């Protein structure tokens, strides 16, 4: 039996949730139900798995158990990049010897994009939910410029479409004089993550059932399947998909293998778009790892800027408002550096969100016990990697030997982390070092 020792706990709402109408959640699980597949977690991985299961076999009975309300957890705290190319513009992570790894990652990411864009077309979702606008990588230093050029050479070798922009070109996009160069990649799809994941959840139809406010308290193996218990109900299932990322460890699973890191974001109040030149909707990731992600979003009330930066390690899977405020002070400086002509524009929302990492940056995937499948450890890039993992888990559950399942199955096993207190000391020091290396980026 696997028994939960803690449950997801979120600090403040993200801007993505706060800007939407309040959600009326589905009813919690009460009583006993019997299904073919139980999915624990209704984020990118869990809901993508449900979608794929319904495609593979529309008769499958599926129960999705969400501890809170859809979009109020880690998924709704994402920055909304469903990328199609490796994320970090760094020779450390994308060098000439890693072409095979890059192609593998591209397969995963484009599978995730395919699911999202297919749903958008099927249900008529607009750009307020999903926008195939591409993304920029931006630099503000000679070191960043060098990474931009090196990354562009790798993309050329992979025959991937891209465009290098000089300082003037990236200024025309962003309206910021700080950026010294940029690289445009057209394949990324941007989402409003809370609106997107709500839309995915609300698109699911019988025999797929979503139960919100239904935290799983335990699950144990029974003859022919599994029994999953919440505070008011029980699910008897032939198979389980664990799609709860770092909180899988709350059940005693994967001890010593998951590193719990939080990243932080701030969203500005609306401002008059005439105050900032450039495009009104764009998204940029930093040229250097651990740098600053920026999005500009247009709206009826005006435009907003999102700043994402800062990382912190928390073994207990929880942060407090003090951590969010501390990161927010850094965000204010990043915002002022990039957009001095927006003096007086304040940040309206601030929040943090968790990531589950492994030491060697591999997912935890596959059938870990008979009938118990994992799609955990997103290692960042949750919108892309978790979506792909959910799809692959669904295919594995029904026995489909797909190319995606093969990719996930061929990853190395996660390496064990150092014991405490060395893990905490090392993780915190490594994060600070990486942020220092990123500098103003």
pLDDT at 88: 52
CB 81 within 8 A of CB 94: no
Assign 3-state DSSP to the chain and report helix, strand, coil percentages, each to 5: 35, 25, 40
| CA atoms lying within 13 Å on the CB side of residue 11 | 21
pLDDT at 98: 67
CATH dotted code for 2-77+194-257+359-419: 3.50.50.60
| Residue 81 buriedness (CB in 10 A; 0-12 / 13-18 / 19+) | buried
pLDDT at 89: 36
Domain boundaries, given as residue ranges, for the chain: 2-77+194-257+359-419
Beta-bridge partners for 181: 139, 166
* Contacts for 295 with CB less than 8 Å, ≥ 6 apart: 79, 80, 190, 282, 283, 284, 305, 306
**Structure token digits, residue 387:** 């979506």
* Contacts for 101 with CB less than 8 Å, ≥ 6 apart: none
| CA atoms lying within 13 Å on the CB side of residue 30 | 3
Q: What is the pLDDT along the chain (441 residues), one digit of tens a residue?
A: 999 999 988 777 899 999 999 999 999 999 999 999 999 999 999 999 999 999 999 999 999 999 999 999 999 999 999 999 986 533 344 334 467 888 889 999 999 999 999 999 999 999 999 999 999 999 999 999 999 999 999 899 889 999 999 999 999 999 999 999 999 999 999 999 999 999 999 999 999 999 999 999 999 999 999 999 999 999 999 999 999 999 999 999 999 999 999 999 999 999 999 999 999 999 999 998 889 999 999 999 999 999 999 999 999 999 999 999 999 999 999 999 999 999 999 999 999 999 999 999 999 999 999 999 999 998 888 899 999 999 999 999 999 999 999 999 999 999 999 999 889 899 899 888 888 888 888
d(CA 53, CA 371): 15
3-state secondary structure of 271: strand
Q: Most distant CA pair in the chain: distance in Å?
A: 66
3-state secondary structure of 226: strand
pLDDT at 91: 35
For residue 274, what is the DSSP state?
A: G
For residue 93, what is the DSSP state?
A: T
CB 228 within 8 A of CB 38: yes
Q: Can you list the positions of beta strands (E) in 132-281? A: 135-139, 163-166, 181-185, 189-191, 208-211, 218-222, 225-229, 233-242, 259-268
């Amino acid at each position: 039996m696997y028994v939960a020792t803690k449950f997801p706990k979120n600090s403040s709402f993200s801007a993505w949730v706060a800007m939407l109408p309040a959600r009326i959640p589905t009813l919690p699980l009460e009583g006993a139900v019997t299904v073919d597949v139980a999915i624990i977690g209704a984020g990118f991985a869990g809901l993508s798995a449900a979608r794929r299961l319904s495609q593979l076999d529309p008769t499958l009975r599926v129960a999705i158990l969400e501890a809170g309300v859809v979009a109020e957890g880690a998924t709704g705290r994402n920055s909304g990049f469903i990328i199609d190319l490796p994320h970090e513009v760094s020779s450390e992570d994308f060098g000439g010897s890693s072409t095979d790894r890059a192609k593998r990652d591209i397969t995963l990411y484009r599978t995730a994009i395919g699911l999202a864009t297919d749903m958008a077309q099927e249900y008529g979702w607009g750009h307020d939910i999903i926008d195939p606008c591409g993304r920029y990588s931006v630099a503000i230093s000679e070191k960043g410029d060098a990474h931009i050029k090196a990354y562009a050479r790798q993309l050329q070798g992979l025959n991937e479409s891209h465009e290098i922009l000089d300082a003037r070109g990236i200024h025309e996009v962003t309206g910021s004089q700080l950026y010294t160069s940029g690289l445009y990649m057209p394949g990324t799809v941007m989402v409003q993550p809370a609106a997107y994941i709500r839309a995915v959840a609300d698109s699911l139809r019988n025999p797929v059932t979503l139960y919100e406010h239904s935290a799983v308290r335990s699950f144990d193996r029974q003859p022919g399947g599994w029994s999953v218990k919440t505070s008011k109900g029980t699910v008897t299932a032939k198979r389980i998909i664990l799609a709860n990322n770092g909180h899988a460890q709350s059940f005693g699973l994967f001890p010593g293998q998951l590193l719990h890191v939080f990243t932080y974001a701030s969203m500005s109040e609306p401002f008059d778009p005439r105050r900032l030149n450039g495009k009104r909707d764009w998204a940029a990731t930093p040229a250097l790892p651990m740098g600053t992600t920026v999005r500009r979003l247009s709206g009826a009330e005006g435009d907003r800027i999102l700043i994402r930066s800062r990382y912190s390690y928390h073994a207990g899977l929880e942060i407090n408002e003090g951590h969010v405020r501390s990161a927010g002070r850094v965000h204010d400086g990043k915002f002022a550096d990039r957009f001095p002509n927006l003096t007086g524009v304040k940040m309206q929302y601030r929040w943090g969100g968790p990531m589950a990492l492994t030491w060697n940056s591999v997912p935890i995937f596959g059938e870990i016990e008979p009938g118990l499948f994992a799609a955990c450890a997103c290692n960042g890039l949750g919108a892309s990697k978790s979506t792909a993992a959910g799809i692959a888990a669904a295919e594995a559950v029904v026995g489909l030997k797909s190319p995606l399942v093969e990719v996930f199955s061929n990853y190395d096993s996660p390496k064990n982390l150092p014991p405490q207190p060395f893990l905490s000391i090392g993780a915190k020091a490594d994060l600070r070092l990486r942020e220092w290396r990123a500098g103003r980026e």
